[in-house]
Amino acid sequence: MPTALILGANGKIGRHAASAFESADWRVRPYTRGTDMTRAAAGSDVIVNGLNPPAYHDWARLVPEITARVIAAAQSSGATVILPGNVYNFGDTPGT
């Protein structure tokens, strides 16, 4: 049975991703924040990165750290990373 590691499994994206993978007969493992992500990814086929910095602060420092850990976990396990898109990369200035 294929396995999906869900980062941010309690959030909106993580909850829905876990439900979708479970419905497709995948084994789903939620990641516990603060634990060794590389170890948690062992045996995973997919890593869903729905993890955000706690309290939505200090993104400039924390997002690159999270991303580096996700990449290391994927390289170690051979898992494919799914990174949901969002609008944050467009900045905080309203469109015209």
Q: Is 77 helix (H, G, I), strand (E, B) or coil?
A: helix
pLDDT above 80 for 88: no
- Determine the average pLDDT of the residues in 16-27: 97
Q: Which CATH architecture has domain 3-85?
A: 3-Layer(aba) Sandwich (3.40)
* Rounded Cα distance, 48 and 4, in Å: 7
Q: Summarize pLDDT for 32-84 with one digit per residue, the tens.
A: 999 999 999 999 999 999 998 887 788 888 889 999 999 999 999 999 999 98
How far is it, in rounded angstroms, from Cα 4 to Cα 6? 6
Distances (CA, A) of 59 to 20, 53, 56, 85, 96: 28, 7, 7, 16, 25
The mean per-residue pLDDT over the stretch 77-95 comes to: 78
